[in-house]
């Protein structure tokens, strides 16, 4: 392992959040506070949700998120999505088109918190549209079970589904899923087991891992140190730290490909 610096890696955190958290006293959640944390830990950019969207009202929270990241080139929006059944958000393709036009980098679905079925017919058109536009969808394992994630990945093989909140005790389930479903990637925010990054990168390729911290609820230092001081080679660290995600963000929405 060579000595690495965060400046060289240009880390891109895909699992960060703005807004005050309803259950944890972790700061005021402003863009300025987020940028200060990025600077403190040497993270170049972040894809951010808004706590108003994830914990309360996705429509209002997504709108506030766009307003707060406007003029902040280091912060990229992640919209929280819903099925259109109650009319809160546009249906399927219309919502994805709106997200694309608004520069949204990522979508996240929270079926347990917002009371819907990840695998049901109500959300399927949105997932299909996201796959067609190359817009990734992030799902936490605390929000959807392994069976639901497997069914979604099977039904939408072109969808880039990023699985987050995965701990070391779930590696057997994760490895089976990654083996069967090449469109599934995993966020590093909770991958804190000894040599877990090295094991997964060797078995499935570094391009199946994307860097995330879980800030502000989680301490970003954990994820940053774990990646920088890993036994991975520099090319793999760069891939995980931002290379794969930047290809997803920069590629033509209809033809984005992950190696």
pLDDT band at 257 (very low <50, low <70, confident <90, very high): very low
pLDDT at site 23 = 67
pLDDT at site 256 = 32
pLDDT at site 6 = 77
Average pLDDT over residues 173-198: 95
Listed in order, strand segments (DSSP E) in 61-136 are: 75-81, 106-109
Average pLDDT over residues 132-144: 94
Give the 3-state secondary structure of residue 209. strand
C-alpha span between 101 and 96 (Å, rounded): 9
- Look at residue 131 and tell me whether its pLDDT is greater than 70: yes
Q: Are 129 and 92 in contact (CB under 8 A)?
A: yes
Between CA 132 and CA 150, with CA 239 as vertex, the angle to 5 degrees is: 45
Nearest C-alpha neighbor of 106 from the set 34, 67, 48: 48
Residue in the structure block whose two tokens are 């390729």: 205
Average pLDDT over residues 125-151: 95
pLDDT band at 25 (very low <50, low <70, confident <90, very high): low
pLDDT at site 183 = 96
DSSP label at residue 49: E
Q: Is 138 exposed, middle or buried (0-12, 13-18, 19+ CB in 10 A)?
A: buried
Element (H, E) at 48: strand 43-50
Q: Are 92 and 71 in contact (CB under 8 A)?
A: no
pLDDT at site 28 = 84
pLDDT at site 30 = 95
φ, ψ of residue 157 in degrees (nearest 5): -65, -20
Using the Cα atoms of residue 191, residue 193, residue 194 and residue 199 in order, give the sign of their dihedral.
negative
| % of residues, the chain, pLDDT over 90 | 85
> Tokens for 89?
């958000």
Q: Which of these ranges, 147-156, 189-198, 204-213, has the smallest mean pLDDT?
A: 189-198
């Amino acid at each position: 392992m060579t000595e690495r610096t965060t400046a060289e890696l240009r880390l891109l955190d895909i699992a960060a959040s703005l807004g005050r958290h309803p259950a944890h006293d972790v700061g005021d959640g402003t863009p300025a506070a987020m940028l200060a944390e990025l600077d403190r830990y040497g993270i170049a950019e972040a894809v951010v949700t808004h706590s108003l969207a994830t914990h309360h009202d996705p429509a209002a929270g997504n709108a506030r998120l766009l307003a707060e990241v406007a003029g902040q080139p280091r912060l990229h929006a992640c919209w929280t999505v819903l099925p259109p059944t109650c009319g809160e958000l546009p249906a399927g393709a219309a919502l994805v088109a709106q997200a694309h036009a608004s520069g949204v980098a990522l979508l996240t679905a929270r079926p347990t918190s917002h009371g819907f079925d990840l695998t049901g017919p109500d959300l399927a058109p949105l997932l299909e549209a996201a796959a067609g536009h190359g817009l990734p969808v992030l799902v936490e394992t605390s929000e959807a079970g392994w069976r639901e994630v497997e069914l979604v990945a099977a039904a939408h093989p072109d969808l880039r589904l990023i699985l987050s909140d995965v701990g070391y005790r779930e590696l057997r389930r994760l490895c089976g899923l990654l083996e069967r479903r090449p469109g599934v990637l995993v966020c590093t925010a909770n991958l804190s087991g000894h040599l877990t990054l090295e094991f997964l990168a060797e078995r499935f390729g570094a391009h199946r891992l994307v860097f995330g911290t879980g800030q502000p609820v989680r301490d970003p230092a954990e994820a940053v140190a774990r990646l920088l001081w890993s036994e991975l080679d520099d090319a793999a660290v760069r891939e995980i730290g931002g290379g794969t995600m930047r290809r997803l963000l920069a590629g033509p929405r209809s033809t984005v490909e992950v190696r």
